[in-house]
Amino acid sequence: MFFSGRLALCLLIDPRLATLTYAAPHLISSQAVSYQLTAQGLPQAMGVPGALQSAASTSAVRMVASLPREAYMPDTGVDDKNSFLVLKDDRWTSTDTLTPDLVDGEISDCQLSQRVDADGEVEWEVESPITFSYRVRESRDVLDPASDTLLFGHLTNARDLARAKSRKLKRVVVVDETVHALYGDRVEAYFEAHGVETRLLVLPTTEENKNMDLVLEIAEAIHELGLDRRLDPVIAIGGGVCMDIVGFAASIYRRRTPYIRVPTTLMGYVDASVGAKSGINFAGKKNKLGAYLPPALAILDRSFLASLDQRQLSNGAAEIMKMALVKDGELFELLEEHGPALIQHKFQQLPEEGAGVDSASRVLFLSIHTMLEELAPNLWEDSLSRLVDFGHVFSMELEMAMLNEEKLFHGEAVAIDMAFCAVLAFVRGHIDAEFRDRILKTMAGLQLPIIHPKFDNEMVDEAMYERIKFSQGQKIPLPVGVGVARLFNDITAEQMYEALDLWPELAARAVEAAN
């Protein structure tokens, strides 16, 4: 018990300790070695004399170097062979034993193993952890020529920054048509002020045009300008569709080209800009082609939201409502209290609020923070059990069905889905009537649609078929309390049809109450 407690403490202090102990003990910090030595029987947990630390560390290296990997790695079978991958003298070497001549090399986190089956056939397996780091940053005025965030904010080390500043700057800049009409002069003036060689693409980045043609047009511009594949990011300035298209183009040009997102819509600000996904529509289905490549940087400038109309603001507010319902009771209560005012004042500070109080800023912060909490541990969607799928189970069918007639924005389709799911949660007994009505009224107060005539039995059946087919089961998020949701796999068709029958009357009452 004493040993296991100390070992747990060691791992809390340095989570890499287990790996370093068997693979690279020379990289263990002196404090970590101190704890390791104590686990072997020395009386002090900390403060082991430096000479003793040094000697013990050397002994540990010799001990590990003299043992084959199988002596301190789990046994995977007599015919398995697991190897270190070590970089020494510009060459990677796989080795079963970390010999003294390789100890000062760079030891990879990857593993290469081989296995011989009963028929004598060999199989190699590569285990390679991939880590991406990206940042989401608030900025007061990203197009101010005095700021260089848009040019260099994506660089995280001094060497890359010095290299980038020592050469002529090149940028492919993709701007949505509507955004260019409003901010085109400022965008062009910014890059001119910094002497940047720019290829500016003004494109109709709408859901109807979210296709491979625009992706290839962007890729062609990247190719022609000759961007550095590590230092020169492509810049997307626009809404969620713009950022999706640019992100996909960046992911396929030379397999990985850095890009920066500058959202100009509320939907882009709280949803499309903060995750790793990109995608385009294909075969009549939403986002059927795509990739997981996060931006090097997402820059959030709230001043862009002041130019949006009510419908665009409400559209983005749907994704905020989603996070409120599945994650955060405070966020729900802020929307319940201030929703109409937030739309009216375009998510800028509310006029009745004094210094130190900014409900709009708090709402945006909570929305983004809770979204990143859910996305970060599952960035590549290895798990398909995702609370952030709330509102995105039935809505995709509805959104694509209405793409060319009385078009619904993405957030509007999501809102209709969420409203239905609130009624479904009530039918199943997860929430009471009071909370159900609060949800519908709050959504109506955000001027979101909460019912649609095309959302019928047939659409529900089709959406559930698609969901089960591509998500390995239902995995339907439903609210179970204020700011709390759970995933369910046992929803019956009868429950959904009952919710569909109950829904119209409840939606009509909510709209009346909100007005």
So which residues are the catalytic ones? 277
Q: With CA atoms as reference, report the closest residue to 375 among 313, 483, 295.
A: 295
**Phi, psi of 136, deg, nearest 5:** -120, 120
CA dihedral (51, 55, 60, 62) positive or negative: positive
Residue 20 corresponds to which tokens in the numbers above? Answer: 């370093």
CA–CA gap between residue 137 and residue 102 (Å, rounded): 41
CA distance linking residue 423 with residue 421, whole number of Å: 5
Find out whether 59 and 21 touch, Cβ atoms under 8 Å: no
Identify the sign of the CA torsion 472, 478, 481, 483.
Answer: positive
CA-nearest of 187, 188, 139, 129 to 297 is: 139
Q: Which helix (H) or strand (E) holds 71?
A: none
Neighbours of 203 (CB within 10 A): 19
Closest CA to 413 of 385, 437, 393, 427: 393
Please count the other Cβ atoms lying within 10 Å of the Cβ belonging to residue 495.
Answer: 14
User: Which three-class secondary structure state does DSSP give residue 133?
Assistant: coil
Alpha-carbon span 473 to 464, nearest angstrom:
9
The span from the CA of 322 to the CA of 331, in Å, is 10
